[in-house]
Structure 1
Amino acid sequence: MAEFHDLAELALNREGQSWGNLGYWKSETEYSDACRALAILLGEQAGLDRQSVLFDAGFGCGDQLLLWLDHFRVARVRGVNLSYSQTAYARTKLVEAGFEDSATAIVQGDINDPGIWRAATGTDRPSHVLALDCAYHFPSRLEFIAQARRHLAPAGRIALTDFMLSDHHRTGSVTHWLLRWMLKRSHIAEANIVHPSRYLDQLRQAGFDEVRIVDISKHVIPGFAHFIRTFRVAGKAGWAGWAGWLKYAVTSRFLQWAYRRSILRYCLVSATKAR
């Protein structure tokens, strides 16, 4: 059975890269560079350093794991990813880069499964839990936040990039019905997409404080949509196969529409485990 999250993103990257996020396009023009920029932004917001014990929730094909290890020099990485193919790819990538211990510390599974957290963290209590461009795909972001709170070390931090409803969007509108249809097609639980005020409340109720939400939509959504259009014009779409290309094309058009109509916003989120 085909996976929704697979290796199709390899087609969008330059050779040797396997990023799979929407990218941060403030100054970048190439997909791999924009994806790396978004990861660096998240790592900086989280406050990663050499003492960090990092749990990566949804590590994709492993490029971000190498970034945490090489760029931020974190002490250790752990992680869970739903995709079998991506997890296998990430393990190979870590081994080839000389991080064999890290390759054995990442597992495949459902992020909402408490047993998976125990299997991934072992005796470690992570100082940081990160979710780079993936939390909206989790079966329940609320349960993910609860698990993060439960497993984080005292004063540990959670950091995400995530979609939210615009403050101007009305949930009873016609556009909201179109949004609900597209979310279902994109394997996104409707309950995961809420207004910023509700997102803030959910983090606080889960036991986090020092919550910061920064709207970075203008440097993410238009840039990704432009890249996909350029990618198609350049005649490279065949690399991803028809199914893969269709997913990117539909996603970029939908996100551009939702951004221009003030329906969705893409935000950088961080918070600290309350005492």
Structure 2
Amino acid sequence: MNTTMFLFGFLSALASIFVWRAFQLKRFDLSDELLNLKPDDHHWGNLGYWENTQDYGEACRQLAMKVGDQAALDQTSDILDVGFGCGDQLILWHQHYRVKTISGVNTSQAQVGLAQKKLRFEGINAFLHHYDHRAINNQADRNFSHVLSVDAAYFFDERDQWFKQVHRVLKPEGKLVVTDLVIPHPPSDLLQEFIMRSLLWLCGIPKDNVITLDAYKQQLTEAGFATVSEADISDAVMDGFAHWLPTYRQQFEGVGSLPIWQKYQATAKILSWLRKHDLLRCYLICAQR
């Protein structure tokens, strides 16, 4: 490995990420509107699933549908979505699967307010609250058939304890379905490990969440889940977003110069670097009670 190039890439990403950290208090606000500047009325905020599309809204819909299909949602489903953003996935799941009940928690008050407005407009009853993932601790035992989380679980503090609470609130044979990030193997190079962990920390991902897939599955087993399955979706998710963003930004002169764009530029650069060195992968994970 060329150490000079390696450090140059790290420092370039670090310079961008400092700007990102300046916006940490807004990480879960309405800034994702910048990714939704096409005429379509949506407010998606995930990395997307980039299969046969270069449209952000369609990519996000595809990722949400991957989660819904894996969960086998239907008219009997009582779902709890942890980190539902502005509610687009909730509307999608209601319209496509006709789910029975919808509950959700989300850390951004602005997003919760917009989601409530959007669901009311669609005539969808939902119980949405401004709170973080630990709100699950206050839910009754065996209250949901599904707990879902799209592009959010890697931010959860004490995620292993959250798994245990998810197991508690799920009905018999209920499912937890998430998209999450894992490392494929412990880094063999100390410099790579330092850079990887530094970048992920700057992104707001707790260090205890940076674990291998085997360790991740072990946490789910220890939480009480009977079966765990996974699918590697890194190419369609991480690579797809990283390749799409620069081209998308070029379409919007003026808007593309806003400082908040540094947040998304940093995301694309970090994803590209981590994928290039195979230091991080994205999985669709399903755990059944």
Answer yes or no: same fold by TM over 0.5.
yes
TM-score by length of structure 2 reads 0.87
1:238 Cα deviation after fit = 1.5
> Is residue 56 of structure 1 aligned with residue 56 of structure 2?
no
1:25 Cα deviation after fit = 0.6
**Aligned pairs (5 A) from 1:96-115:** 96-99=121-124, 101-102=125-126, 105-114=127-136
Identical aligned residues as a percent: 36
Q: Which residue of 1 aligns with 2:177?
A: 159
1:4 Cα deviation after fit = 2.0
Cα–Cα, structure 1 residues 69 and 124, in superposed 2: closer, same or farther, change >3 Å?
farther
Secondary structure in 2 matching 1:259 = helix
* Deviating more after overlay: 169-178 vs 198-207: 169-178
Q: Give 1 or 2 for the bigger CA radius of gyration.
A: 2
1:240 Cα deviation after fit = 8.4
Among 68, 90, 115, the residue aligned to 2:93: 68
Among 36, 39, 44, the residue aligned to 2:64: 39
Query: Contact conserved, 2:141 with 2:170, CA < 8 A, in 1?
Result: no
Long gaps (5+) in structure 1: none
Secondary structure in 1 matching 2:73 = coil
Query: Contact conserved, 1:162 with 1:268, CA < 8 A, in 2?
Result: yes
Long gaps (5+) in structure 2: 1-23
CA distance in 1, matches of 2:158, 2:93: 25
Query: Contact conserved, 1:11 with 1:240, CA < 8 A, in 2?
Result: no
Cα–Cα, structure 1 residues 2 and 90, in superposed 2: closer, same or farther, change >3 Å?
same
* Deviating more after overlay: 34-43 vs 134-143: 134-143
CA distance in 2, matches of 1:60, 1:9: 9
Cα–Cα, structure 1 residues 124 and 195, in superposed 2: closer, same or farther, change >3 Å?
closer
CA distance in 1, matches of 2:156, 2:98: 28
> Is residue 261 of structure 1 aligned with residue 283 of structure 2?
no
Q: Which residue of 1 aligns with 2:216?
A: 199
1:94 Cα deviation after fit = 0.6
> Is residue 180 of structure 1 aligned with residue 205 of structure 2?
no
Cα–Cα, structure 1 residues 236 and 205, in superposed 2: closer, same or farther, change >3 Å?
farther
1:209 Cα deviation after fit = 2.1
Cα–Cα, structure 1 residues 261 and 237, in superposed 2: closer, same or farther, change >3 Å?
farther
Cα deviation digits, residues 220-265 of structure 1 (max 9, x gap): 112101111102222357168312x100000110011101101000
Query: Contact conserved, 2:105 with 2:135, CA < 8 A, in 1?
Result: no
CA distance in 2, matches of 1:193, 1:124: 29
Secondary structure in 1 matching 2:29 = coil
1:34 Cα deviation after fit = 0.1
Secondary structure in 1 matching 2:60 = helix
**Amino acid of the residue matched to residue 132 of structure 2?**
D
1:152 Cα deviation after fit = 0.6
